[in-house]
Amino acid sequence: MTGGIITLDLHGMNCVQARTAIDAALRRAGRSVYRLEVIHGYHSGSALRSMIRETYARHPKVKRLEVGLNPGATELILREY
């Protein structure tokens, strides 16, 4: 994958499927990728959002999490730009 930001849409996935997709994206992310934008939505509950924020806050490839103006997305910062 090339580019600085990868966007991953998890709509319609359960927590197991979402975790598998995020882990795969993190494995494929090259050195040019500094941010993984994970779109989890917010109208259908908070299970995905909670899983992402709890699991990936401590992930070795993730420096920090960012929650922007969009409540339906969480950004995993892999390195500073």
Residue 33, pLDDT score: 93
How far apart (Å, rounded) are the C-alpha atoms in residues 42 and 45? Answer: 6
Per-residue pLDDT of 6-48, as tens digits, reads 999 999 899 999 999 999 999 999 889 999 999 998 877 789 9
Characterize the bridge pairing of strands 64-66 and 73-77. Answer: antiparallel
Q: What are phi and psi of 45, to 5 degrees?
A: 110, 180
Q: Note whether 81 and 4 are within 8 A (CB).
A: yes
Model confidence pLDDT, tens digit, residues 45-65: 789 999 999 999 999 999 999
pLDDT score for 1: 45
Helices (H), the chain: 15-28, 47-56
Cα 50 off chain centre by = 12
